[in-house]
Amino acid sequence: MTEDPVIDEEALKGAQRLIRLTALRGTPVDDDRCATCRYYLEPEEPLAFCWHEKLQILVGADWWCQHWEMP
């Protein structure tokens, strides 16, 4: 029998706030996507770390946020 996971409510609220503030989306905007952003560390990978100073989280290659910048 496995136990239900414990949810860190404060961490969840922080992540939700970050998503709202950065307009993080799970879909690209036009041809702009995380994999083509200068802050996406491994463009060839489907998931990679975004090192933008205001984000710094694991993101998907096809995601997009307002901090997108050309490499």
- Whether residue 32 is contained in a domain is answered as yes
Residues 6+ apart with CB under 8 A from 25: 63, 64, 65
- Whether residue 30 is contained in a domain is answered as yes
Model-wide pTM > 0.85: no
Q: How far is CA 36 from the centre of its chain?
A: 13
- Residue 7's alpha-carbon distances to 4, 11, 13, in angstroms, are 9, 8, 11
Residue 20: which pLDDT band, with cuts at 50, 70 and 90?
A: confident
Domain that holds residue 29: 25-71
Helix (H) or strand (E) holding 60: strand 58-60
Please give the pLDDT value at position 13: 93
**Number of domains observed in the structure of the chain:** 1
Distance CA 18, CA 50 (A): 13
- Whether residue 49 is contained in a domain is answered as yes
